[in-house]
Structure 1
Amino acid sequence: MVDTPAPGTVRPGGRTARVRETVLRTAGDLLAQGGFEALDLAEIARRAGVGKTTVYRRWGTPGTLAADLLDDMATQSVPRADTGSIEEDLRANAHLVVKTLTEPRQGRLFKALIAASLCDEQAAEALHRFYATRIEEWAGCVTDAVQRGELPDGTDAQRVIAAVSAPLYYTLLNTGDPLTEADADRAAKAALAAARAGTWSTAAPRGRPTPNCDN
């Protein structure tokens, strides 16, 4: 028995790839304009100039389409910085997040995709994959810093990177305050200070004797 791939997961080249690119771009525009509730497959097919049958056969539901859009965004995201300094790398990460979230289309798109993840399981799983992919991409900055002696041994690289973007997404979604470059600098500085203090280190602190349980 041959397994049938889930809708939106097959990515061949040629015309099919062009159709996918057009549909995803159109879906992103609709999400940015009207949120998840505006993600109507028939309307997307009309705007993209693609047959409705093609869109319904390949994606099937708005949630599947939103998930495919997130997966595509993850593969096309900007590579991590490699400045040779953990301070500068974390600043670059924070500024990239702010730049993305304050860009008119991208900021609205991320809000819509986050909203979609709250009511659609496929979108939620894709959002988790998106953040995991981006955090893993930038985690190399932290592991390199540990090797250079800038951060404690055993520092959890993923947690450090997550700590950079967490306050920025909080501002975007909860306070409504405009994000600025100063916010990016503060987020990077706070995450770096915590990492240097060993907040996310699993290694035993240097200079302290290991307890002897036999005594």
Structure 2
Amino acid sequence: MIYCRGTLFDVLDNGAGRQINGGSTNADQVIRFLNLDDFRCPITLEIMSDPVTIASGHTYDRASILKWFRAGNSTCPKTGERLTSIDLVPNFALKVLIKQYCSANGIPFVETGRRNRDAGRFVGSSSVANEQAMKLLASFLVGRLVAGTMEQQNKAAFEIRLLTKTSIFNRSCLVEAGVIPPLLNLVTSRDSSCQENAMATLLNLSKNSKCKSTIVGNGGL
């Protein structure tokens, strides 16, 4: 799912998509092929407000699947498959689609209103596939920050901002990929959105002592 995220974020994040024929966006085209059932949690059958993907590849609302795991279950509720891990991978792309679908169809979207503290505990490097996918995504996003257009830099900065909220492992991968120098450059960007995303991301990174040292070592405060 992290690899898919790297492919999809360019279209779906930050409420932005490229304009295509008729003035619609790529995201609009995707939404037309979806229906409300695509956004329901398989456990509660309610519209998901915080979708996460588990090791089986199926997506559930965070609160529902956490309740399932905390009850002592270690299987996928939908398939019964025994899981190799109980990692929860936030499905940001799906969440954006759900919000856009609800907005386009007059359906209220209820944010969870809670900080994503569980993600830091469940999302990590316990899966080799997750680890390699995160490293690949980190390298891809840093490349966009360094050599992308201003629009691509802004979207990459927004994506990195989300990832740095998720776990220490994600922050470590991004720092190792060289994210700090281009983020510091974006702090003085002409684009206010780029500035905001860069500053918020640096703040998230500074919460870790090793990351903070790297920021200072690259001229940041």
Considering the TM-score relative to the shorter chain, is it more than 0.5? no
The normalised TM-score by structure 2 is: 0.29
The normalised TM-score by structure 1 is: 0.29
